[in-house]
Amino acid sequence: MGGLGAVVCCTPEAIADQVQPLAVRSRPKTVCHRQRRGTRCGMVTITGEYQGDLHCVAAHGPSGQVLNTDAPKDNQGRGEAFSPTDLLATSFATCIATTMAIAARRQGVELRGLRYEVGKEMSTDAPRRVVRLATQLWIPLPKSHAVAPVIENAARTCPVHQSLHPSVEKPIVFHWAES
């Protein structure tokens, strides 16, 4: 097993070597085997541990940040933390906000104060799955601003939006500031 300060690599063997109790884990230096050869790696490693009672803990390799998950109350869990599907909804909304902010920044515009809300709807039939992520965005700019079409497009083309199955409904409502 990798020790404290272990190098994180994205080969399956290296990932398997890094699995260790999170309590003894320090923030690892993230190095991809391709980076060592001078090419760029687009992989981030997340490690984790199932702790029983439908509770998991996960660590983000590059930052060392840790989060907990719990199964929701409606699916045998305690509901004491984000569920995995809550994190999917969170990923969707934060990806939209971040991608919009990147697009706005490229145009010299700051979107500080942008707010979002996402409603996650689960299927009523088997298999259990997310069927709808209804998102509302409150934009601190008027609809007439020159960057409006650019950031609307960014919202609809963020990486998480592009990664979700086409059967997942993904309506987005934009609320623009008054002119």
Q: Is residue 2 assigned to a domain?
A: no
Domain boundary among 46, 75, 104: 75
Angle between helices 84-106 and 148-156 (to 10 degrees): 150
Compute, in degrees rounded to 10, the torsion defined by CA atoms 124, 67, 16, 42. Answer: 90
- Looking at residue 42, its pLDDT comes to 80
Q: Is residue 112 assigned to a domain?
A: yes
pLDDT band at 179 (very low <50, low <70, confident <90, very high): confident
pTM: 0.77
Domain boundary among 56, 75, 94: 75
Beta bridge partners of 166: none
Claim to verify: residue 37 and residue 96 sit in the same structural domain: no
Q: Is residue 61 assigned to a domain?
A: yes
Total domains in the chain come to: 2
The two tokens of residue 106 are: 């490229």
Give the domain extent around 22: 7-75
pLDDT band at 34 (very low <50, low <70, confident <90, very high): low
- Residue whose entry in the numeric block shows the structure tokens 């109350």: 73
Residues 44, 27: Cα–Cα separation, whole Å? 14
- Looking at residue 138, its pLDDT comes to 98
CATH of the domain at 138: 3.30.300.20
pLDDT digits (tens, 9 = 90+) for 62-121: 999 999 999 999 999 999 999 999 999 999 999 999 999 999 999 999 999 999 999 999
The two tokens of residue 120 are: 């996650």
